[in-house]
Copies of this chain bind each other. A is one copy, B any other.
Amino acid sequence: MSATDKIKLAKAASGSLAIASTGHKNAALEQIAKLLVESQSEITSANRTDLERAKKDGLSEGLQDRLMLNPERIVALADSIAQIIALPDPVGELVRGKTLPNGLQLSEVRVPFGVVGAIYEARPNVTVDISALALKSGNAIVLRGGTAAENTNIALVKILQQGLVDTGLSRELVQTVDDFGRDGANEMMAARGLIDVLIPRGSASLIKAVVDGSKVPVIETGDGVTHLFIDESANPEWAVEIVHNSKVQRPSTCNALETLLVHESVAESILPRVLGRLQDSGVTIHGDAATLAIFPAAVPATDQDWIAEYYSLDLAVRVVSNLDEALVHIAKYSTHHTEVIITNNQVNAERFLAEVDSAVVMVNAATRFTDGGQFGFGAEVGISTQKLHARGPMGLRELTSTKWLVRGSGQTRI
């Protein structure tokens, strides 16, 4: 059986889930959560095999940590499924409707995509999270989870399929093409007409490879070179706390702050406090000349710093002459994820909100709020940085399409 054959099985099964009731889908998810907790020893045993190989292959400690599943993390996965069960089912929602003058009744209703594909790197929690989101929104799912997590993913997919079978749904709704290596991903990217949408999650290079290679529609996620601009009128306390929180609270995430821009008229008064607080938390400041003059502990920034997504305790800092210069810098370097202005000036706040072309634009708040959980969407499929279909944090609704239903009584067109 080829990877494409498995994708075809998912496609063939998808119709039955598309019309399953919310109760039926929730029952399957409950069973999956139960099986996960009951199968802790099988999962951790498979995971140990992957971890040993990862160690031998010299994977970084960060990647090893992301790969690792222990009983505590397995319970957290089951909890995350419980949260997805509690979310409202988007399928069947009426989006628009009207009756035409000729009596035709039109309604646009939300329907599942059909088959969702996910290509990601060695993070077994994504296997469970994205499958649960796909199933809740009525979609079959095809997974390509990275060779490093192969054994763990096999164990997890077995549980997902068993949960479906136990509740009278088709096991074919969850497929993995991990056993086909790189060919699996390539066949997914070629499966236009079988897979309805492909979501890459992981490094910028993985996402770029999928965007470049896929004939299936892709939703681009992640990649956050986020900016924060401290305006002339900024409340200094807010500036200190919001910048610190944006950079330090969890630097390895895509919504962590990467570049700080400061209005020159307040650089001398505010920067020492903002950067001092960061330095105390171990942040390395990569400053332009003006920043270095004010804060000598900084290291000189190079052009590379303006495009860097550090994912670490590093921050690029630049002094700009005004809001316009900040907007130009952001337009040039932003990845259209999240940008923030700290200001007390209403006109500048509204200009920033209107003119910055990013998924999320904030006034006086930390970049870290760009998140499905924080926005109240429950678990998150990813954060879309493109404009087609979904923008910003993606929840269940973003895993659906719509369909027009037209009810007539013999109408013909004149």
* Contacts A19-B354, A388-B197; A413 near B366 (Cβ below 8 A): yes
| Whole-angstrom CA separation of A392 from B211 in the bound complex | 25
Chain B residues with Cβ below 8 Å from A360 are: 403-404, 406
* Contacts A15-B357, A401-B388; A365 near B411 (Cβ below 8 A): yes
A290 on interface, CB distance cutoff 8 Å: no
Contact between A406 and B365, CB atoms less than 8 A apart:
yes
Among A349, A358, A364, A404, the most chain B Cβ lie within 10 Å of the Cβ of A404
A120 on interface, CB distance cutoff 8 Å: no
Chain B residues with Cβ below 8 Å from A361 are: 403-406
A285 on interface, CB distance cutoff 8 Å: no
Contact between B113 and A387, CB atoms less than 8 A apart:
yes
Chain B binder among A98-106, A122-130, A172-180: A98-106
Interface string of A389-414 (1 = CB under 8 A from B): 10110000000011111111111110
Chain B residues with Cβ below 8 Å from A391 are: 401-404
Contact between B241 and A410, CB atoms less than 8 A apart:
yes
- Interface size bracket, A side: 35 or more
Stoichiometry, copies per complex = 2
- Among B362, B389, B404, the residue within 8 A (CB) of A359 is B404
Chain B residues with Cβ below 8 Å from A288 are: none
* Contacts A387-B197, A410-B238; A98 near B364 (Cβ below 8 A): no
Nearest-CB residue, chain B, relative to A354:
B19
Interface string of A341-366 (1 = CB under 8 A from B): 00000000100011101111111111
Chain B residues with Cβ below 8 Å from A19 are: 354-355
Chain B binder among A26-34, A144-152, A314-322, A367-375: A367-375
Nearest-CB residue, chain B, relative to A327:
B15
Chain B residues with Cβ below 8 Å from A215 are: 211-212
* Contacts A361-B403, A388-B217, A391-B402; A242 near B410 (Cβ below 8 A): yes
| Whole-angstrom CA separation of A318 from B362 in the bound complex | 58
* Contacts A196-B388, A369-B104; A403 near B359 (Cβ below 8 A): yes
Nearest-CB residue, chain B, relative to A353:
B405
Interface residue ranges of A303-320 to B (CB < 8 Å): none
Chain B residues with Cβ below 8 Å from A196 are: 386-388
Nearest-CB residue, chain B, relative to A408:
B365
Contact between B15 and A355, CB atoms less than 8 A apart:
yes
Can you give 20 contacting A-B residue pairs, CB < 8 Å?
A: A19-B354, A100-B374, A100-B376, A106-B375, A113-B388, A114-B357, A114-B387, A217-B388, A237-B410, A241-B410, A241-B412, A242-B411, A244-B412, A245-B412, A349-B407, A362-B406, A363-B406, A388-B388, A388-B389, A391-B401
Instruction: Write the residues of chain A forming the contact surface with B, with a CB cutoff of 8 angstroms.
Output: 15, 18-19, 98, 100, 104, 106, 108, 111, 113-114, 192, 196-197, 211-212, 215, 217-219, 235, 237-238, 241-242, 244-246, 249, 331, 349, 353-355, 357-366, 368-370, 374-376, 386-389, 391-392, 401-413
Q: A-B pairs with the 6 shortest C-beta distances?
A: A365-B408, A245-B412, A387-B401, A389-B389, A362-B406, A238-B410
